Amino acid sequence: MTRLSRRRLFGAAAAVGGLTLLAGCGREDPDPLVRLRSGGDVVIGLSGERPFGYTDSSGRPTGESPEVARAVVAELGGNGLVAVQTAFDELVPDLLDGRFDLIAVGLTVTPLRCQQVAFSRPDYVARTGLVVPVGNPLGLQTLAGVRRSGATLGVLSGAAEQEYALAAGIPSSQMVVFDAQSQLVQGVAGGQVAVGALTRISLLDEVRRNAGIAVEVTRGFEPEVSGRPAVGAGAFAFRPADSGFRAEFDRGLGALQASGRWLEIVRPFGFTDGNLPPPGLTIDDLCARTPDS
């Protein structure tokens, strides 16, 4: 498995519109639930991945996950959000190290991640997509097809697609790891890899913002893990010890989804009612597969 680059982003403090991008948390009370109930800020981890969690041109953190988190925090009586920016593959370690209270980047729920963090109720469901050169010369539509073709696959460092690719039988020697989704898409456009895999919403957003780039996004699919489809669902991630905070956040998120406000918040980021988790889908269901499955 080849790594093209590794970076870590730490921003200087900059207060913008009630949200702050920080290199460190600077929290007065380390217990997020106490802070929330007393009208304080909640600290979120971001990684600059559109349209899930990033900063806009003014430096204000936004995206599907921060906007949903902001609405939940407001409903629960909190003051607002403080954002800490870090590399995608450092999000879980930094959460566990206490740099922020929750991860708000649309983190896909996988059994391996379930062993490390405590997830909220599902925030959304979304299919995986492939980014390929215009015309899709290899006719790739699934990870199984990538394996059969022997084509070099680009994946995002630490992303669920790495797990999906390995489960599909794609050897690590056939993968190239990128540190950002923009690098992944540019890698396909520039011929460094034949195909890239990521959440389809992310790929469509990246291609839309790069008019004229010579790539296209395939239709969405559910990767197979141990012979059955793996539901692509994203959620907010918490430290396992913060069970009270997670329960309160879950309550607020459930109310937001039931009221219809969730869809109003996420629609500007390319989400539709088709991305609303089905009522019967639970985190226990998503975590149920064993890490080897």
The enclosing domain of 59 has a CATH number of 3.40.190.10
Looking at the fold, whether 44 and 137 belong to one and the same domain comes out as no
Looking at the fold, whether 8 and 50 belong to one and the same domain comes out as yes
Direct distance between the N- and C-terminal alpha carbons of the chain, in angstroms, rounded to an integer = 21
240 inside domain: yes
Looking at the fold, whether 143 and 179 belong to one and the same domain comes out as yes
**pLDDT number for residue 4:** 39
Looking at the fold, whether 132 and 180 belong to one and the same domain comes out as yes
188 inside domain: yes
Counting Cβ atoms within 10 Å, is residue 149 exposed (0-12), middle (13-18) or buried (19+)? middle
Looking at the fold, whether 179 and 132 belong to one and the same domain comes out as yes
203 inside domain: yes
258 inside domain: yes
**Predicted TM-score of the model (pTM):** 0.81
* Structure-token pair, residue 14: 């900059």
- Of 188, 204, 229, the last residue of a domain is 229
For residue 275, what is the DSSP state? G
293 inside domain: no
* Structure-token pair, residue 10: 């730490």
- Of 229, 248, 265, the last residue of a domain is 229
292 inside domain: no
- Of 211, 229, 247, the last residue of a domain is 229
Looking at the fold, whether 78 and 145 belong to one and the same domain comes out as no
**pLDDT number for residue 237:** 98
Beta strands in the chain (DSSP E): 2-3, 14-16, 19-22, 41-46, 54-55, 61-62, 80-85, 102-108, 118-119, 124-125, 128-133, 153-156, 175-178, 195-199, 215-217, 224-225, 228-229, 233-238
Could you list the residue range(s) of the whole structural domain that residue 170 is in?
Answer: 128-229
Looking at the fold, whether 44 and 132 belong to one and the same domain comes out as no
Looking at the fold, whether 25 and 75 belong to one and the same domain comes out as yes
280 inside domain: yes
**pLDDT number for residue 211:** 87
Looking at the fold, whether 119 and 10 belong to one and the same domain comes out as yes
Looking at the fold, whether 110 and 160 belong to one and the same domain comes out as no
- Tens digit of pLDDT per residue, the chain (293 long)? 443 333 333 332 333 333 444 434 444 567 899 998 899 999 999 988 889 998 888 777 799 999 999 999 999 999 989 899 998 889 999 999 999 999 999 999 988 899 999 999 999 999 999 999 999 999 999 999 999 999 999 999 888 999 899 999 999 999 999 988 899 999 999 999 999 999 999 999 999 999 899 999 999 999 988 787 888 999 999 999 999 999 999 999 999 999 999 999 999 999 999 999 998 999 998 988 644 43
Looking at the fold, whether 136 and 111 belong to one and the same domain comes out as no
In Å, what is the CA distance from 47 to each residue of 63, 85, 104, 180, 243?
11, 6, 9, 9, 24
24 inside domain: yes
Looking at the fold, whether 258 and 117 belong to one and the same domain comes out as yes
Q: How many domains does the chain have?
A: 2
